[in-house]
A and B are shown apart, each in its own frame.
Chain A
C-alpha cells in the first residue's frame, strides 16, 4: 500500500517533469468530428467502393484503374507513409452501396473513399460515409439529387464528374437544335440516375418547345422490352432517350428495330452505357445510336501520361470514368498533404473536418478533367459534355457542350 502510494507520487513527478520538458507539445485533436492517427511506418488507407461485378463491372474496373494509376503517380506514398487501398464491391444498387459502405465505414483508419459508380449506390453511400466522418469522392455519380441539399446531399460528399442537370440539358439541346427532333420519349429504370437524367432531359426539351410523347420505365433485369416499346410507338417520337445501364439498354437497342412505328426514331443513351461491353451486348443494333457522356478528349500532359501508364498496365480498353477517378484520388491525397500534422517521429494526425474543409476549398485544382473547383455542396467538376455516335463499334464524339 505504502509502496504503491510512493510509486504513484513518483510517476506523477516523472509525468510532470516530462510534460515540462522543452519538447513539442503532443498533438491534441481539436477536430469537430475526430482525427485519424497514423503511426510511423503505418499506411495511409484509402477506400474505394465501385461496381466490380455484374454486367456493369466495366464502369467500376475503369474507375479502379484510374485510382491505381493516381496512387502509382504518387509513388504509392503520401508524407512518407505508404498508401494502402481497400476496395469493396458496391455493385450498381442501393443495397450494394449500403453493404460496401457499412463495411468500409467500420474501419476507423480510413480517411476517405473513392466511389461509388452508380447513383443508386451513391445515395446510401453518401449518408454512411458522412455519418462516419469520412469523405466520399465519386468519380461517376451524376444524379442531381446527390448534391442537392433538399434531397440526398450529405456533408463530406464530393463528385468529380458532371451533374446530370448539365448532361440532360446538353442532350436536349443537341437533339432539338442539331438533330431537329420535335417529339421525344424517354425510358428510365427506376434508379435515381436514370430517373433524374430523363426528367432533366424532358423538362429542357419541353422548355425548348419540343413535345414529350411518353415517359416510361422498365425494371432492372427486364429482357422483354417489346411491349413497352410498342406503347412508346403509339406517339411515334422522333427521338427515344433511355439513359439506363448496359443490360437493359442493350435489350431496348436490339428490340427497338423490331417495333412498327419506331423505324425512324433516333435512339440515344447516356454514360451508363458508355462502355465496350455495351457494344458487345447490343451487337449491330447499336450502330448509329447516340450516347452522351463526359467529353473524354482531354488534352493535357497528365492525360497523355495517364494513357501511357494505362496502356502498359491495363491495355487499351477504356470505359468512361477513369480520369474522374484519377482526379478524385489526387484531390484526396492533396487534401491529406495539406491538413496532416506530422510529429517528429513521423506520426500523422489528420483531422476529419479539416479534410472536408480542404476539399470544399479546392480551387483551380489542375486535373485531367480540367480545372476543378468545389462548390459548397461538393460539385467539383469542370464539366464538358460530349454527344457521341456509335460508328463501327467506336464512340465517336460529334458535338460538345460547356454550360
Chain B
C-alpha cells in the first residue's frame, strides 16, 4: 500500500492546504513571538523559573483532575462532565465543616499536619461519595443507552451538584483558612519556591505514581483494564463489571478530592462554581494527553499548566500584544487544536480499535 510521492500530491485537496497554511502561520507566529521576547528579554532567569514553577503547580492540579476524566473514559467511553463538581463538592464540604471550625478552635495552629490530613480525608471521602452516588443514580441505568444520553446526563448532573451545593453553602466565596505551616517559601536549589506550591507538586506526583501502580500492578487495576478492553468478555471472565466501574469513579473522584484540597491550599478560597473552569481545563488536558491514558492525562495537565503560565509572556509579548494574560485560554486551546491536527488521538493516546470506535 505504499503511495508514491506523485500519488500523494494528487490526493491533496484545498482543505489540506488550508490546514497546512494554518499550522505554518501559527508556528511562525509562535516562533516570531518567542524570538522577539528572548531578544528583548525583560525577565530575569529567576522570573522565568518562577513562571515554570507556577505552571507546574497549576499543571499538576489539572493533571490530578484530568485523571478522573481519563479513567472514566477508559472504562466507559463516556465523558463525565460532572467531574469538576466532584472536585468542588469535596473541598467545599471540607472547608465548611472541617477547615473553618478547626481553624476557629485553634487546632490548625497547634497540629497543622493533623488538621490537613483530616481536611483531606473529609474532602476525598465526600468527593468519592458524590461520585459513587452520581454513578449509581444517574449513569448506571443508562449503561446500555446510546452514548449521547449519558453525556447529556453528565451535564445535567454537573448543574445539579453546582446548584445543590450553592443551596447548601451559599453562593458567595468562602475563604479557606490560612495554614501557618504553609506560609512563605523554601529555598530549593537556590530557587525560592512557595511552600504551598512545593506541597502541590510533590503531592500530585506521588498520587500520579500511586495511581499508575494501582492501575498497572493490582488485581483491581487489572480488572479495570479488562473492563476497558471489553465489558462483556470481562464479565464472562468473572469480573463484576458494575463494581469495577463504581471503583473507577471512586478512584477518579478521590484524585479530584485531593486536587480540591491542593487547590484550596494554593488559592485559599472555595465557591460553588469553582469546579467549572478547572474541570474544563482538565478535560482539555485529558484530550491533549490522549484520553484514556493515565500518563497521558498527567502529561497533558502539566503541559497545559506550563503553556498557560509561560505562553502569554513568551509567545505573545514579543508580538507586541498588550495584556497577553487575557489570552492564556486562547493559547491553551490553540495548543489543543494544533496537537489534535497532528495527532488526533492525543499525545499518548492509542489509536482506537474498531470495537471501541
Contact = CB atoms under 8 A, between A and B. Distances in A.
Q: Does more than half of chain B's interface fall in helix, strand or loop, or is it mixed?
A: helix
Nearest to A188: B323
Nearest to B172: A277
A73 B43 CA distance: 59
B305 to A, nearest CB: 9
A230 B50 contact: yes
B350 interface: no
B173 interface: yes
Interface string A202-218: 00000000000001111
Interface in B31-75: 42-43, 46-47, 50-51, 54-55, 58
A219 B312 contact: no
Residue from A218, A227, A228, A260 with most neighbouring chain B CB atoms (10 Å): A227
Given A233-B47, A254-B268, A283-B268, A224 B308 contact: yes
A250 interface: yes
A340 B209 CA distance: 75
Contacts of B46: 260
B50 A231 contact: no
A9 B269 CA distance: 79
Interface in B261-300: 267-269, 271, 273, 276-277
B286 to A, nearest CB: 19
A258 interface: yes
B269 A247 contact: yes
A58 B323 contact: no
A266 interface: no
Contact of B323 (A54, A217, A221): A217
Contacts of B47: 230, 233-234, 260
B100 to A, nearest CB: 11
Given A231-B325, A233-B47, 9 more contacts: A216-B323, A223-B267, A224-B54, A224-B309, A227-B325, A228-B312, A230-B51, A247-B269, A254-B268
17 contacts: A54-B171, A58-B172, A215-B323, A219-B328, A221-B277, A227-B312, A228-B312, A230-B43, A230-B51, A231-B325, A247-B173, A247-B271, A250-B173, A258-B185, A281-B172, A282-B175, A284-B178
5 tightest A-B contacts by CB? A217-B323, A281-B173, A217-B326, A228-B325, A226-B54
Interface of A: 53-55, 57-58, 188, 190, 215-219, 221-224, 226-228, 230-231, 233-234, 246-247, 250-251, 254, 258, 260, 277, 280-284
